[in-house]
Structure 1
Amino acid sequence: MISLFPKAILIITVLTIVSYLVICVGLLWFQNRLIFFPSKTIEKTPDLLGMPYQEVWLKFPDSTSESEQINGWWIPGDSDMVIFDLHGNSSNIGGNLGYAKQFHNLGFSVWLIDYRGYGCSSDRFPCEKQVYEDAELAFNYLVNERQISPNKIVVFGHSLGGAIAIELATKHPEIAGLIIESSFTSILDMVKVKKQYGIFPINWLLHQKFDSIAKVRELKMPILFTHGTADELVPASMSEKLYQACPEPKQLLMIPDADHNHVKEMGGDRYQETIKKFLESL
């Protein structure tokens, strides 16, 4: 029995190392499935909230597949300015209609899209590069098809949508402004906060980075950050860090007791008035 003990230790050690490496490979190849949770079921459409809309399908010009497309809703308003709405990682355009209604009530046209993998858009599972491409395609639709000047476009992004909005703004510094709600500094920072993967070399494995904190420093357009102090998914301190990192003009609105998905509701009149004044200033 004693002679078997070193062999047992060796076997356990080898199995532990192999398991560790298998998990590392899994984190490398499947990390987008730990970030994106696509929702295909659209429960509400704009007409249910009293907003006439046009359904739009956008195809990728360099795609060989007819099914490679994204779905969007164009909600016309009285203003010549447009709010380009980008939803989070586990929602779809139907889930952002509360924001759309808020902006539409202020007179703005609203443009919402679903990234590939979400809603009625094509089924390819999303990744960082892909959602950036989807946002770029949708932005070009506004400029080229709708003939809307970039300085008349305000990009709103919630949670992961905030990171996509920031990336889009780095490519189009001429846009009118940004509203970033309940978003994060980077995926690496989120991993550090959640602490699930502390024993793994995340710095080496991570390729879905969404490194917003490195990008906001170069932005020049007016930016409004909003966040709830009771957010248990994305710490409110991350919006504070984004705010501190970006140059003027900028604003930060913290809503007491609001969680990740109810900043607008918990913010009430203060939130509505801040949004209104920010948009009027552009």
Structure 2
Amino acid sequence: EDALALFDQVYATHPQVAVVGRSLGSGVAVRLASQRPVQNLILVTPFNSLEEIAARQYPWVPVKWLLKDRFESGKYAAHIRTPTLLLAASDDDVIGRSSTQRLFESFPAGVATLKVVPDSGHNSISERGEYLRWMGDVLNR
């Protein structure tokens, strides 16, 4: 709700809004982009479902019953028509590549592009030159 309210406030005076979501924030960004007319969407180290990630990280915990907000990005991605860039880290130890791949495949054909930043981890992805260059390519169109 906060993301929607903020978007609406900014959009009232700036009709071209790009949205960037990183890690957990990618779940918020996908949901927002499925409900508002964003200009561009960039998702950094995104995931398909928080429940899926939590179950992989904590297999002994019944996350299905404990997790209140599931951030089911894959479900909302199917409704997005905005050009979207997904940036995955080549060596991400938090978000498995298979989760990012499932999210990518949930977008309508031709909407999303998936790029893997080489020699990067979940927390070091922004240190690589490709990260800023590929984001700039999207934002400077």
Same fold? TM cut 0.5: yes
Give the whole-Å Cα distance in 2 for the aligned partners of 1:236 and 1:263. 14
Matched residue count = 140
Question: In the alignment, is residue 257 of structure 1 matched against residue 122 of structure 2?
Answer: no
8 Å CA contact 2:17–2:39 kept in 1: the answer is yes
Question: What TM-score results when the alignment is normalised by the length of structure 1?
Answer: 0.46
Give the whole-Å Cα distance in 2 for the aligned partners of 1:143 and 1:187. 28
Counterparts of 1:152-231 in structure 2 under 5 Å?
152-172=16-36, 174-197=37-60, 200=62, 202-231=63-92
4+ long deviations beyond 2 Å: 195-198, 202-207, 270-273
Q: Secondary structure at the match of 1:135?
A: helix
Give the whole-Å Cα distance in 2 for the aligned partners of 1:156 and 1:234. 17
8 Å CA contact 1:191–1:197 kept in 2: the answer is no
Flag structure 2 segments of 5+ consecutive residues without an equivalent: none
Q: Secondary structure at the match of 1:171?
A: coil
Q: Secondary structure at the match of 2:34?
A: helix
8 Å CA contact 1:188–1:203 kept in 2: the answer is yes
Q: How far off its partner does 1:143 sit?
A: 2.2
| Cα deviation 1:81-110 (Å, max 9, x = unaligned) | xxxxxxxxxxxxxxxxxxxxxxxxxxxxxx
Q: What does residue 278 of structure 1 align with?
A: 138
Q: What does residue 134 of structure 1 align with?
A: 2
Give the whole-Å Cα distance in 2 for the aligned partners of 1:195 and 1:139. 34
Q: How far off its partner does 1:205 sit?
A: 4.3
Identity, % of aligned positions: 26
Question: In the alignment, is residue 232 of structure 1 matched against residue 96 of structure 2?
Answer: no
Q: How far off its partner does 1:204 sit?
A: 4.2
Q: What does residue 30 of structure 1 align with?
A: none
Q: Secondary structure at the match of 1:272?
A: helix
Letter of the 1:276 counterpart: G
Give the whole-Å Cα distance in 2 for the aligned partners of 1:158 and 1:142. 20
Higher relative contact order (CA 8 A, sep 6+): 2
8 Å CA contact 1:227–1:239 kept in 2: the answer is yes
8 Å CA contact 2:48–2:72 kept in 1: the answer is yes
Q: How far off its partner does 1:273 sit?
A: 2.6
8 Å CA contact 1:182–1:236 kept in 2: the answer is no
Give the whole-Å Cα distance in 1 for the aligned partners of 2:137 and 2:57. 35
Question: In the alignment, is residue 246 of structure 1 matched against residue 110 of structure 2?
Answer: no
Give the whole-Å Cα distance in 1 for the aligned partners of 2:88 and 2:57. 18
8 Å CA contact 1:153–1:177 kept in 2: the answer is yes
RMSD: 1.7
Q: How far off its partner does 1:155 sit?
A: 0.2
Flag structure 1 segments of 5+ consecutive residues without an equivalent: 1-132
Give the whole-Å Cα distance in 2 for the aligned partners of 1:243 and 1:196. 24
Larger Rg computed on CA atoms: 1
